[in-house]
Chains A and B, each alone.
Chain A
Amino acid sequence: MKILFRHKRGLISFLILCGLYLIAIFSGFLAPYHYETEQRLCSYSPPTKLHFIDSEGKFHFKPFIYNYSFKLDENRRRVYTEDKTKIYKSNFLTRGDKYKFLGFIPFDIHLFGVEEGGRFYLFGSDSRGRDLFSRILYGGRVSLSIGVIAVMITFSLGLIVGGVSGYFGGKVDAFLMRVCEMIMLVPSFYLLLALRASFPPEIGTVKIYFLIVIILSFIGWASLARVIRGIVLGLREKEFILAARSIGLSDIKIIIKHILPNTSSYTLVAITLSIPGYILGESALSLLGLGIQDPVPSWGNLLTDAMAIAQIKLHPWVLIPGFFIFLTVIAFNMLGDALRDIYDPKGRKI
């Protein structure tokens, strides 16, 4: 941990990730609107501009906004212009949509917002006039947590199977490794789709969430188990393991207390490097409409809007969720690289 603070790239990516997770945890408070709040009149409204100087040239200490009004052009597309007749002042800690703070405390105070009647879209809005900024913050809850939970399941499974397989060897090893190979044999994305297809398409959001977690971890554990097995195979012959056996420790205790802790430097790096894979997996499923279902946002299903080129041309802000995915993935990869540098005894030049 201390060394991480001396590793510049590692520290930066670590802080970025901390920031993203904090944002996801406090999404209800940070987001000005609830993710379901619609304004049908503001479909694909562009990002709202913050103003300090009003039309009369007067300076306002607190930024304010104008609402957008639209006219239809010759293609019956909405063209939004600022309606400068009324000023809506922004404010910190305003009352707004009800939400549950940290998931269980009912609350209605938001970090910032505008006066009653104003419509504040920091990142623009989607087809139904829902605030993209709020939806991205809420979407982070799904996208960021799914990676961590899936990784935890994958790693407990992979560590147990790999540990047992490597430690006992022989027939147990051969059997478990063939099972792993069978799972690894199928290209993972098709396996992902096939597994998803084997469940009903319309089920509750919570169920879908856990279904995706389970599917993602089911695909991931096999390759991990193989690597862990390789490490354990090397550790098994170490004399401190033999010493533990000659003391009379049971096999299970040896695996848990001596073998698995000694794989941790690899495991920690592998965990960090594999989380982005799960985030991307969830995004891919949601993008195809097989993952988290609207209205609940995830970064993947927010990007569904950006699938058509025309949309990107007319409403470029629908790509913003992609930027968040990009940021998370790159931060995890950089953190993993940093951890690998730290744990690699040959490369301790940080």
Chain B
Amino acid sequence: MKEILRINNISKTYKIKGAFLKLSGFVNALKGIFFTVSKGETLALIGESGSGKSTLAFIVAGLISPDSGNIIYKGRDLHALYKKDSKIRRKIQIIFQDPYNTLNPRYKVYDALSEPVWVHKIVSRRKIKNEIVRTLEMVGLGEDYIYKYPHELSGGERQRIAIARAIILKPEVIICDEPTSNLDLSIQAQILNLLLEIKKREDLTLLFITHDINIASFISDRVIVLYNGEIVEEGKKEDIFANPVSSYTKSLFEASTL
């Protein structure tokens, strides 16, 4: 399969500020991560909180820059591209964890979805509404949602809008930063199925970040296990779930089967 993203030796350190101009310490969020993502696959990044998985997601999405290392997107340095031309951002989109913060409370669904469209001039002004309705249908919402405010929507509906906001740009990669962790179990399944369906239809690559083994096993083709900013396990889903190598992964599986 064709490689679409290469995460090349990424490191990120956070400074911890102490009292009055003193630096009280560092947190090594990521310590030289290296892996590749192939086109069309779903790669799950598993890790506990503090393992650096969200930091990694933000770095790939260009929301923070790494201290060292780079990300190669189709043979070019992604962060250099971000700086030069913000148009590249449409190729890599991100869906966030908290459905209650992911939408601007003052924006109607129409405003939230039209913004990416006019920023990247995807369709002409007159066709914006059609495009939004089409995208809403893809995420399973009707046209009547166009003029609703976020506070009128449930958590699951908000997350669908967030997905719509990402796919309306027709990206190649979508990073999902625990998109279901704040939702009810029944709605989790709906959202995951929706993501898989859209992925198949739009030929997307998913980078799925989660702390839930069951979700990872449901959605992914390949799994990477992060622990303390390092990769402890990497491989095909079937291999890892059948035969985990590292002791951390083993303990993770044991905990989840309880």
Residues of A within 8 A of B (CB): 238-240, 242-250, 257-258, 261-262
Question: Do B102 and A239 touch across chains, with their CB atoms under 8 A apart?
Answer: yes
- Docked CA distance A66–B104 (Å): 67
- Docked CA distance A247–B63 (Å): 10
Top 5 A-B pairs, shortest CB-CB distance = A248-B89, A248-B86, A239-B96, A239-B101, A240-B104
Q: With A242-B96, A243-B165, A247-B116 known to touch, is A258 a contact of B62 (CB < 8 Å)?
A: no
- Docked CA distance A79–B104 (Å): 70
- Docked CA distance A239–B165 (Å): 13
Interface centre among A240, A249, A262 (most CB of B within 10 A): A240
Question: Do A240 and B103 touch across chains, with their CB atoms under 8 A apart?
Answer: yes
CB-defined contacts of A250 to chain B, threshold 8 Å: 86
Can you list 7 pairs linking A and B with CB atoms under 8 Å apart? A239-B101, A240-B102, A240-B104, A243-B102, A244-B104, A246-B63, A246-B94
- Docked CA distance A242–B61 (Å): 10
Shortest C-beta distance, A177 to chain B (Å), equals 15
Residues of B within 8 A of A (CB): 58, 61-63, 86-87, 89-90, 92-94, 96-98, 101-106, 115-116, 119-120, 162, 165, 169
Question: Do B101 and A238 touch across chains, with their CB atoms under 8 A apart?
Answer: yes
- Docked CA distance A12–B105 (Å): 30
- Docked CA distance A262–B106 (Å): 7
Question: Do A242 and B115 touch across chains, with their CB atoms under 8 A apart?
Answer: no
A-B contacts counted at CB < 8 A amount to 55
Question: Do B106 and A248 touch across chains, with their CB atoms under 8 A apart?
Answer: no
Shortest C-beta distance, A65 to chain B (Å), equals 57
Question: Do A248 and B94 touch across chains, with their CB atoms under 8 A apart?
Answer: no
Q: With A239-B96, A243-B94 known to touch, is A248 a contact of B102 (CB < 8 Å)?
A: no
Question: Do B106 and A242 touch across chains, with their CB atoms under 8 A apart?
Answer: no
Q: With A239-B96, A262-B104, A262-B106 known to touch, is A244 a contact of B115 (CB < 8 Å)?
A: yes
Q: With A245-B63, A247-B119 known to touch, is A262 a contact of B105 (CB < 8 Å)?
A: yes
Question: Do B120 and A248 touch across chains, with their CB atoms under 8 A apart?
Answer: yes
Shortest C-beta distance, A232 to chain B (Å), equals 14
- Docked CA distance A243–B177 (Å): 12
- Docked CA distance A258–B106 (Å): 8
- Docked CA distance A239–B94 (Å): 10
B62 nearest in chain A by CB position: A246
Question: Do A247 and B169 touch across chains, with their CB atoms under 8 A apart?
Answer: yes
Given A239-B102, A245-B63, A246-B94, 17 other A-B residues pairs in contact with their CB atoms under 8 A: A238-B101, A239-B96, A239-B101, A240-B101, A240-B104, A242-B94, A243-B94, A246-B61, A246-B62, A247-B115, A247-B116, A247-B119, A248-B90, A248-B116, A249-B115, A249-B119, A261-B106
- Docked CA distance A238–B62 (Å): 16
Question: Do A247 and B89 touch across chains, with their CB atoms under 8 A apart?
Answer: yes
Question: Do A258 and B94 touch across chains, with their CB atoms under 8 A apart?
Answer: no
Q: With A246-B93, A247-B89, A247-B169 known to touch, is A258 a contact of B63 (CB < 8 Å)?
A: no
B95 nearest in chain A by CB position: A243
CB-defined contacts of A257 to chain B, threshold 8 Å: 115
Question: Do B106 and A239 touch across chains, with their CB atoms under 8 A apart?
Answer: no
- Docked CA distance A240–B95 (Å): 10
CB-defined contacts of A238 to chain B, threshold 8 Å: 101
Shortest C-beta distance, A263 to chain B (Å), equals 11
A250 nearest in chain B by CB position: B86
Question: Do A248 and B119 touch across chains, with their CB atoms under 8 A apart?
Answer: yes
- Docked CA distance A258–B98 (Å): 18
- Docked CA distance A243–B104 (Å): 10
- Docked CA distance A250–B87 (Å): 11
- Docked CA distance A244–B162 (Å): 11
CB-defined contacts of B98 to chain A, threshold 8 Å: 239
Shortest C-beta distance, B51 to chain A (Å), equals 20
Shortest C-beta distance, A271 to chain B (Å), equals 18
CB-defined contacts of A245 to chain B, threshold 8 Å: 62-63
Q: With A247-B115, A247-B119, A248-B120 known to touch, is A239 a contact of B90 (CB < 8 Å)?
A: no
- Docked CA distance A250–B58 (Å): 17
- Docked CA distance A249–B104 (Å): 14
Shortest C-beta distance, B58 to chain A (Å), equals 8
Question: Do A246 and B89 touch across chains, with their CB atoms under 8 A apart?
Answer: yes
CB-defined contacts of B115 to chain A, threshold 8 Å: 244, 247, 249, 257
CB-defined contacts of A243 to chain B, threshold 8 Å: 94, 96, 102, 162, 165
CB-defined contacts of B102 to chain A, threshold 8 Å: 239-240, 243
- Docked CA distance A258–B116 (Å): 13
Shortest C-beta distance, B29 to chain A (Å), equals 16
CB-defined contacts of A262 to chain B, threshold 8 Å: 104-106
